[in-house]
Structure 1
Amino acid sequence: MIQQTSTGVDLPRGLAVRGGRPLRGTVAVDGSKNAALPLVAAAAAIGRPVTLTNVPMSSDVGKLVRLIHATGARVVLDGHKALHVIPDLDHAAEADRALAASIRASYYLAPALLASGRAELPWPGGCNVGDRGMELHFMVYEAFGDRVHTCEAGYQITASPLQRRTPVEIKLPFPSRGTTVVALLRAVVAGRPLLLHRPNTSPEVAGLVKALAQAGHEVSYLPDDVLSFQPGNGCPATWCVPGDKIEAGTLLCALAATGGHGRVSGVNPTHMSPLLDLLDDLGFPITITNDGVELSAPPTLTGTSIYADASLNSLSSPECLDADFEPPLIALALTLAGRSHTFIDEINPGRHANLLPQLRRLGAVITEVSSTSCELNGPQRLAGASVEAIDIRTGSALLIAALTAAGTTELAGLTQLQRGHADLPGKLHALGADIITLV
């Protein structure tokens, strides 16, 4: 049975993956979903025409593009992976609540909605990988003088009736990416200076900072871990969504796990430096070019074990490993001989509960030290089975595991995988993976 997605694209009900084939070749990644979502929301918030290029065709991005019509913006598609966002407040409407509830990034829309005085949204959805607390977001709005009301169905924010231009100073308890984005966009809409302590400094936030500067605002990093925003008059801008570092890292892990050799292009290697350093430490030779990375799996590995710790403290530096790299690394670790590996993910506390049972269906032996940490020894012999992509990163990790398993693995839940990747199975197939669709 073919499923219909929110983007109107038909998806097969699943994939059949036959393992045992080393991957080889060259493949280019799409734009980053995690970088595109803040940029789409910013395009709706700045009140000036924006052209976005290299927009990924993942379903989460498609949903947010549809939702920004509620902010009074018109969206015009211009060829493949490009769109124009044009402010048009006369056509503002209520946000589609069901659609907004299906993605986490719906909270990025609130600042743009506040340009008309009120934002009313359901609680964010998306991957079920742990608590989606909004407390820090509400702290931002209250710092701007807005009123926040919550109920079981969602939340409502009413903009401050006072047209202040005084600076707003906010001290975050930890460098939350979502809260940093919301604080910047609220300052844009309010036209107020902002001093944000302990901001997130990930490549996705850095991309938003660069985009706002290109649109006529002054954004800079000050000493003592402070992000400064000074509103400008604003101007039309063209922004390019950077290549997807998570998709690139997933493909590199697949090359490594299958003993292959290949090149992944279309990504800034500096955005994934912690992963590249780890792969190098594991014994996989890495060659870096201007827009990509080449990896070769040597006949014998002599590297170290993996210790991946994604805690709230790790958000303070772009030098720390992104938590979204952990699932493909777990799949890779299952193939590494003579190693004991430790994985901790406190940022997404429900992720292990999704991933580990699915890997066990393939025969993986993994010890859960706690709900957010696990250990495993390699190498392990996996065998094909029926598994499900319960969330985006579980799906990508299961694809890697299936490529190393004996026999055929059937992977269901492709709607989850397509939320974050336009066509990850297709890219693996281009590298030689034996993948067919099940209709």
Structure 2
Amino acid sequence: MTTTVTSGGLGASGIDATYKKVALRLIPYIFVCYLFNYLDRVNVGFAKLQMLDDLGLSETAYGLGAGIFFLGYVAFGVPSNLMLHRFGARRWIALIMVLWGLLSTSLLFVRSAESFYVLRFLTGAAEAGFFPGIVLYLTKWFPSARRGGVMALFMSAIPLSGVLGGPFSGWILGHFTDGQAGMHAWQWLFLLQGLPTVVLGIGILAVLSNGIDDARFLSSDEKAALKQALVEDDKNRPKTVSDSFAAVLRNKGVWALGVIYFSIQSGVYMINFWLPSIIKASGQTDPALVGWLSAIPYLAASVFMLYVGRSADRHRERRLHLAIPMLMGVGGLMVAANFSASPTIALIGLTIATMGALTGLPMFWPISGGYLSPTAMAGGLALINSIGQIAGFVSPYMVGWIKDTTQSTDTALYILAAIILVGVVLVLRIPGKLVNR
């Protein structure tokens, strides 16, 4: 269902065309930026296949290094988003992209567990404002009824990063095997996947505008129509929302949203950081083949994510469109754990889990709008995101410790399935009138 605002002389077809123009202007570029954001965050999952032996790191040390990224992310999430709100999206997002691109590239200089931990923490701190900042930025353009599809389109960069990043990472690890320029293949991986982020960050200054008023590609009538749509959307907002950041901190519903997001991210980060290792453990030793096989779950997830996003907007229903994908995550992880000895069935289970967990991400964010007023949006979104991102530390570290202790990831898969199930229960307890818009 679409908005029918006619401000500035635009009819329903005119406003639809305007939103299409905005989406074509903004989404492709920030989609590519988010693709590299996610790739830079999780490419240690592929680097692990070689760097652990080169550096003499244990599985637990890898899990801690993969997860410590999120301690920096959580610590700087709220401050970074408040800085974006103060200084504007264009300059702040450009700055943090250049910074995290340089830090991610610098991982090629890692020589010990300690340097791995420090660089991962700093990279997480630099990245912290990007995703919640983009979510906040999109709320300045699109009303609630249009955000499901837009968020799904934007966040399909996550599975696509797996579709493209898996084969690309596998190719790098397989191609740079003879120490070109005196570097190991995993060092080339960080170099070739980190520097493009720096270039994209500089490009932000030319592509993005801070908001509707600064958009030179829109006419005055189009700007008026977009702003009126946001005004009407705010009028229809339930009255039980938080009106300030202090109120956000006291709102039990917001903390429940953080727990739900934590449960979703627990499954997502297990898949991101451990999928290549699980595939390799099934008997596949060729890095290129591991890369191609790891792309299968992400390809399925990218298609499913777009379908569910459009369905949620069309039916204006949010809870079941989030709960059902999360249940798929639960079932898929349990299948992968039960049939770990069968590579084909285990991969099917991981594919179902990836489809569910990754689709849960864009379906989650439109729900948060029911709790947050525009004045509390910047801090509230960052708080929810920070709570959820704690899973990025807990999940990989737990999996690494269990893998070292039991020589298997099966127990970890069961635990993560249970965590996601708790999130499903909380989703179903949210009042439908608060989020089904």
TM-score using structure 2 length: 0.27
Q: Comparing both chains, which one has the higher relative contact order based on Cα–Cα distances under 8 Å and sequence gaps of 6 or more?
A: 2
Higher helix proportion (structure 1 or 2): 2
Higher strand proportion (structure 1 or 2): 1
TM-score using structure 1 length: 0.27
